[in-house]
Structure formats: structure tokens, C-alpha cells
Amino acid sequence: MSLQSDQIADLLRPFVRPEVVEQHANWIFEDMTRIGFDLELSMENPPAFWRAKSLLPQPEYQLLKTRYSIDSKDPNFALCGSFVTLGNLFRLSQTVALARIWIPTRWPIQYQRQLLGEEHLDALNEIWWLKFWRNLVSVIPGPKVNPDAPDFEWALSMKTGLTERHINLEVKRRPGNINSWFKHGQPSASTSSIEHKFGPVGENAANIAAITVYQPPSKDALSHLRQWLDAQPYVHGVMLWIENSHRSEPMLSFIKPDREWVRHFILQPEPADLMVAGRPWGTLCTPDEAPDFITRNFA
């Protein structure tokens, strides 16, 4: 049965401030109803599971469509659970609030196709990254007209006093990070399909890549990310959000020295951001990798 506003509010209370929780619940109900998204609570990870882990029970909901399944014949899509085939209601709440502030003429109708399809979590993640910017005065969707030209997600403008700065933001969500953890024990932080998103900009602007992962990347992955950034002429920084990290610092930022001013505009996570948890599942390895995997991890 589809969740009603009062039920959504009750599920959000541990995460959302009391003075706004009912408003956020009403917004979710209105926006999801408007696009025809039947918001149903998932009990795949029941409250007792979270409490046994000393974590807040996570309000998770079912996705209408997903490209992932634990039974998938393609090992790259053999995943399920939190952040993969289940959405997090608190993250949806944050996204709806941000969308109503910064892209009210586009939300939710222009996102209907993605939200009802396999790109649901990708679409939410793109908007959710708007929460980390201080002194934000305008948000304009990136050009995305010519595939051979820059086509980043957002053009952001910020002001401090009389100074105006601009950030071109490209957002990537990397569930493959979960896959690399299950299959190889080496969580990745892929930078693929990012460098061509940007072009030359003036000194008062910066091109920033924002990447969401779900397991802390390995040392090798972080080293590769830094090397990749140094080699990019038009990428000035990378921000990495580690969902489900349970760490006091779930966000890492790598900014080139000539754009150090970007750090002034980065907001820190809210306390409630650290309450989000998940339980994704994945196959341990592909059949042909099984002998080496077993020897490496269990011998």
C-alpha cells in the first residue's frame, strides 16, 4: 500500500527536524503522487536488523524499476539491497526539498521518466549534491546539447560580498564501487566519463566532479583518483561522498591549488547525513574468478 503523508512523517522523524518533518512529508507525497510513483515501504531490511547493528532503522522504499538483480547473469549488475534496488526515504526527503528551492520549474515533471524508471537513484543523486554549496544564488542545468561539447550537470553561482564565483558541477553515482568491494575486496572510485564533460573556464570559475560511492575506496583507488585529477587540464577538483560510511568525515575533497577558493564554498555534512545506513548485497566474484578469489580470501 502506498505510503500516506502521516506515515512518511513518522518514518522521517528520527532524521528530520520536528518543525519541518510534516512539511517534508507532504512535499514527498505531493510530488510522488504527481508523477505517479507509488511509494511503498520496503521491509527487506527490517527494523530489528538495524537495531542489532546499533543503527537507526532505515526507512527504505521499493523502486519501480531497476537494472540490478542479485540473480543477474551479468556480474556487473548482480547487486541488490540498499542504494541499489531500494531507495532511502530520508535522502528522497532532502532531494525533494532541494528541488523545490532550486529547480521548481523542472521538478518533478521533467524528472518523471527517470524517477519512474531505472535512473531513479541517479536522478535523486544529481539534485542531492546541490546541498553542499555555501552562498548559492543560482542553479542552472548544464548545457547538454552537443555530445562533443561540455555537458556537466549544473552551473552554480555563488556570492560573497561583491565577489561572484561559478562552479560547473558534474555528478556521478557509482554503484560499481559496491561490486568491486564484493568481488575484489578493493572498493573503486571510478572517474570514467568525466573528463570530456568540461572545457576551459576563467579564473573565477571551477570545474568540479562530484562522485557518490558506497564503500570507502581503497588506497590504490584514491591514489589513482589523485593522479587522474592531476592529469586533467579542465578538471579542477573532485568531491567524493562515501554513503554508508558511518564516519565523521564521509566526504573527501581534492582541489587543485589554483582553485583553492572552492573550499570556501563547500558546506559540511549535516549530522543527520551520518545516520544514513544501508545493506547492499552482491555476488562475491564471477565464476571464472572463483578459484583465485577463494584462495586469496579463504585459504
Within a domain: 101 = yes
pLDDT for residue 184: 84
Q: What is the DSSP string of 123-137?
A: HHHHHHGGGGBTTEE
- Provide the β-strand partners of residue 155: 140, 168
Q: Which of 226, 261, 220 is nearest to 240 (CA)?
A: 226
**36: alpha, beta or left? (left if phi > 0; alpha if psi -120 to 50):** left
Between 150 and 140, where is the model more confident? Answer: 140
Q: Do residue 275 and residue 137 come from a single domain?
A: yes
pLDDT for residue 143: 78
pLDDT score of 147 more than 70: no
pLDDT score of 248 more than 90: no
The per-residue pLDDT for range 257-293, each reduced to its tens digit, is 999 999 999 999 999 999 999 999 988 766 676 666 5
pLDDT for residue 290: 60
CA distance 65 to 208: 30
Cα 241–Cα 246–Cα 249 angle in degrees, nearest 5: 50
Q: Do residue 111 and residue 186 come from a single domain?
A: no
The per-residue pLDDT for range 37-89, each reduced to its tens digit, is 999 999 999 999 999 999 999 999 999 999 999 999 898 899 999 999 999 99
Within a domain: 210 = yes
Q: Do residue 67 and residue 191 come from a single domain?
A: no
Q: Which of 64, 98, 125 is the last residue of a domain?
A: 125
pLDDT for residue 149: 63
Q: Do residue 109 and residue 7 come from a single domain?
A: yes
The per-residue pLDDT for range 178-194, each reduced to its tens digit, is 999 988 889 999 999 99
Q: Which of 138, 137, 135 is nearest to 160 (CA)?
A: 135
Q: Do residue 228 and residue 246 come from a single domain?
A: yes
Tell me the residue range of the domain where 94 lies. 1-125
CA distance 148 to 198: 10
Average pLDDT over residues 222-247: 95
Q: What's the structural domain count of the chain?
A: 2
